[in-house]
Structure 1
Amino acid sequence: MKNELKVALIQSDLAWENPEQNRQNFSAKIASITKPVDLVILPEMFTSGFTMNPNEVAETMTGETISWMKKISEEKNAAITGSLIIKEKNNYFNRLIFVHPNGNIDTYDKRHTFTLAGEHKVFTAGKSNILVNYKGWKIKPLVCYDLRFPVWSRNVEDYDLVFYVANWPKVRTHAWDVLLQARAIENMSYCIGINRVGLDANNHEYSGHSAAYDVLGKRKDTIPEDKEAIDIVTLDKKHIETYRNKLGFLNDRDDFNLK
């Protein structure tokens, strides 16, 4: 178990519906990280941008991007995660992939498909909430629109970190900032959000605002707005334990079940 977890936050533009170009771009960015890290987080649909044309870019769990992620994870001796479009049995999923350095994979299918963009008409929504166990840290991975639904991220497992990978548009940046901070405070956990920057083929603009918050809702990162950037933040188990023991807020959470 590690008391500290070093996380690389990669805020990037994305090449529209071009998995090969995006893999090349992220290979270069990850190679530029010279300090040891435990986890690398990429945005939502990092191989394609937020496209509603899954047939153009969908892959399988044995496809090129999964192989690429495994290779990167092994080379960096770090977990790597982000979401991409996966096809299974004629269904398309916006699937978050969490690759461990030993090659093991955890997956989470986006639960809340973004109805405003018609994502629910194209992609099959996930049904299961997962918890990733990595180096003694309990991690909850979620995707973009999930951020608006706090019950889905409710900390019933005493997890240490919740993170969101996203293509969150600039026009609703204020909501992104406020909700990320709220998820950290209400769950007494670290909360990280990784969002893209740039303009996509549908003329949607993305302003980044990727961030890492501690259990008190204080910023841990130094990522600038509106441009590509990489930052490494150090998360500390002692910080979590100190404030959970001191304040005890999670002891008073409501007891109910999701259905």
Structure 2
Amino acid sequence: MAKAKSKPEKSEKVSKSTIRIKKPNIKFKFTKPDLGNYKRFAKPVLTVVVVFVSFILVDFLIQYLNNDYSVAVVNGSRISRSTYHAKLESLYGQSVAKQMIDEEIIRQEAKSAGVEATKEEVQDRLDEIIRSIGGQETYEAALTANNLTEQELKDQIELDIITKKILEPSIQYTEEDVKAFFDQYSAIIFPNETAALEEGEKLDYEQFKDETKDIFLQQEVENQKYTWIDGLYTDYKIQNNATEKPKYGVLTTTINIFKNLFNSVNTNQE
């Protein structure tokens, strides 16, 4: 018996167009914040911040009045800092300004002459000063008493050294001048050595000759310094604003400002 032929199964073909993907329907729900609670919370916080800032400002104002604005308070009456500075300027302004001008002239003269004071020379002179007044403790007390810092003293020593180097070659003197200076001031120059002498004894000039000569020259330099500086005033263009109104215009002032900045940079680099 013959087998019946089975019909081939039809392959199912699905068209792409018949596939549909449903997009998920996602909904976001936003809840409005309760501004009423926020306002109730923010108001006391803001009040605290305002009070705190006000306290700081009041404290700053009080400190300013007590420290910066006033130099003294007498039974509640304040002496203002501006009055204090005006008094200082009227009493000492001109002399201080002249001293600073003189020092600047010395520095410029030394620079022109190629004269300088080395750090070693300054330190040696400082060490000599410390020894002569009785040691480090006495030296520090002297700085405090004179309202000086060590750097300010070193600056003054530097000026003294370069002034001496400039003027010393022009000082004329003899050995007899130095000997006469020693005879007159030896007790002042060498007090400890003089105190150790027996009655009727004198210091030996030959033993102290070199040191006496150095002190003699320092004294002569000091005597001639101000005459020398005053003679240089005509060679320098000086505007003393402590005694005169400024005469420079905007252009000249600007040039001077940049020149001073340039000189300061060069000094710091050295």
* TM-score class normalised by the smaller sequence: under 0.3
Q: TM-score, normalised by structure 1?
A: 0.25
Higher relative contact order (Cα pairs below 8 Å, separated by 6+ residues) = 1
Question: Which structure's residues are more often strand, by fraction?
Answer: 1
Question: Which structure's residues are more often helix, by fraction?
Answer: 2
Q: TM-score, normalised by structure 2?
A: 0.24
Larger Rg: 2
